[in-house]
Amino acid sequence: MIAVELDVVEPLGRLIARPWADVVTGLQVDSRRIDEGDLFVAVNGGVDFIEHALARGASAALVPEDAFAALAAIAGAVRARSSARFVGITGSTGKTSTKDILFALAAPHLRTVANEGNYNTEVGVPLTIGRVEDETELVIAELAMRGPGQIAWLASFVQPDIGVITNIGPAHLEFLGSLEAIAAAKAELIEGLPAGGVAVVPADEPLLEPHLQRSDIVVRRVESDAPIPFTTSFTARHQLANTRFAVAVAECLKLPLPSGTLTVEFSKHREEERELPGGGLLLNDCYNANPVSMRAALENLTERAAGRRRVAVLGDMRELGPEGPAYHEKIGRLLGELGVERVISVGELARAYGGDWVATAAEAAVRLREVVQPGDVVLVKGSLAVGLAVVAENLND
């Protein structure tokens, strides 16, 4: 991390510093990840691990008065000292994959920092900025949202030069009430752009148009059929859509595009493909789910199966509010239209999918073992709270 003086940190709470320390050169909230010179910020019961952090070489530990505000202030201090370009990415679906694809495009050419996995919240984003060094040239910050004001908060210290909104969909509808409100919350990223900044948005999303009226920014609209001038290690249509956004950002950054095949390492539990015995395939996409991503995953299941038997283990889609049952019924109808041969539904709302119903992920893991056959293509997908990771792990044992 770019060095931050302890004078900046001290007003943020109770500071325990080594006598020799006057700066910190890293930021952590997990004492197990401490390197020499780091600042350990004690959040969520972290005061019990201060001694451990100091023993591992932390220059200082902070017990913050307000954890989010302290982390934001430290991240803001790093941002102010950095000459890197910053890209903020949000959207109802596809933001993590777009981040992963953009990283694959940028890393061969620029010293690039991007979120680890799902480090996209009020804690994770500051930790990402805490990895920025003097030599860093590009920072890719994925920004999550569950309510109004959260993107604005993250953007206040990320201060992105380029803001990407992949799409607007019913994710977190329970907390925002309407697609218009979701669009307004995502558009806080556009409001956070500086004069001369670039907003990269879908060309066919009218809900964003009211938020694109700033005359002092550049708006780059990405067409849904825009050509991709290289081949990829993946073929899913929704990932090609995400690739178009990553390409648009790469072009804004004037990065050379691949002349051959782009290979992307996607974040854990997203787009994981593993061979199964007898010529089968596991599509592990169990990190999260909403109606848009569920449809995309089922269509991809059919394409990847290429005539092989399909097995879908599908959990509840959470945080959809009063319209949740109707969205689950739509997915049930889609399963019928696609003719998916075996369905294991997990969770109360998932009853609407049909097939074999179980209450828990552990039961689903057992049931899948019973029904899977050599050559099957298996999709595992559901909201994180359903815990379907155990299903994929059990199948690979």
Q: In this prediction, what percent of the chain has a pLDDT beyond 90?
A: 91
Which residue would you say has higher pLDDT here, 322 or 270? Answer: 322
Gap between the Cα atoms of 58 and 68, Å rounded: 20
C-alpha distances out from residue 363 to 313, 358, 369, 383, Å = 11, 6, 10, 16
C-alpha distances out from residue 139 to 41, 46, 263, 373, Å = 22, 27, 20, 44
User: What average pLDDT is seen over the chain?
Assistant: 95
Please report, for the chain, the start and end positions of each structural domain, with discontinuous segments joined by +. Answer: 4-66, 82-262, 272-396
Query: What pLDDT digit, counting tens, does each position of 77-93 carry?
Result: 999 999 999 999 999 99
Q: In this prediction, what percent of the chain has a pLDDT beyond 70?
A: 99
| Half-sphere exposure at residue 295, Cβ-oriented, CA atoms within 13 angstroms | 13
Q: How confident is the model at residue 272 (pLDDT cuts 50, 70, 90)?
A: confident
Gap between the Cα atoms of 370 and 368, Å rounded: 5
Q: Tell me which fold the domain 272-396 belongs to.
A: Protein-Tyrosine Phosphatase; Chain A (3.90.190)
Q: How confident is the model at residue 396 (pLDDT cuts 50, 70, 90)?
A: low
Please name the CATH architecture into which domain 82-262 falls.
3-Layer(aba) Sandwich (3.40)
Gap between the Cα atoms of 5 and 10, Å rounded: 9
Average pLDDT over residues 246-275: 92
Query: What pLDDT digit, counting tens, does each position of 332-342 carry?
Result: 999 999 999 99
User: Per-residue pLDDT for 187 more than 90?
Assistant: yes
Average pLDDT over residues 169-195: 94
| Three-state DSSP class for residue 112 | strand
- Three-state SS string over 18-68 comes to CCCCCEECEEECCHHHCCCCEEEECCCCHHHHHHHHHHCCCCEEEEECCHH
- Pick the closest to residue 166 from 111, 107, 86, 220 (CA basis): 220
pTM of the model: 0.90
The DSSP letter of residue 255 is P
Which residue would you say has higher pLDDT here, 287 or 246? Answer: 246
Q: What pLDDT, on a 0 to 100 scale, did the predictor assign at position 347? A: 97
Q: How confident is the model at residue 280 (pLDDT cuts 50, 70, 90)?
A: very high
Average pLDDT over residues 381-388: 94
Query: What pLDDT digit, counting tens, does each position of 31-56 carry?
Result: 999 999 999 999 999 999 999 999 99
| Among the four given CATH numbers 3.40.50.300, 3.40.1390.10, 3.30.420.40, 3.40.50.1820, the one describing domain 4-66 | 3.40.1390.10
**Do the beta carbons of residue 146 and residue 175 sit within 8 Å?**
yes
Average pLDDT over residues 260-275: 87
Any idea how long the chain is? 397
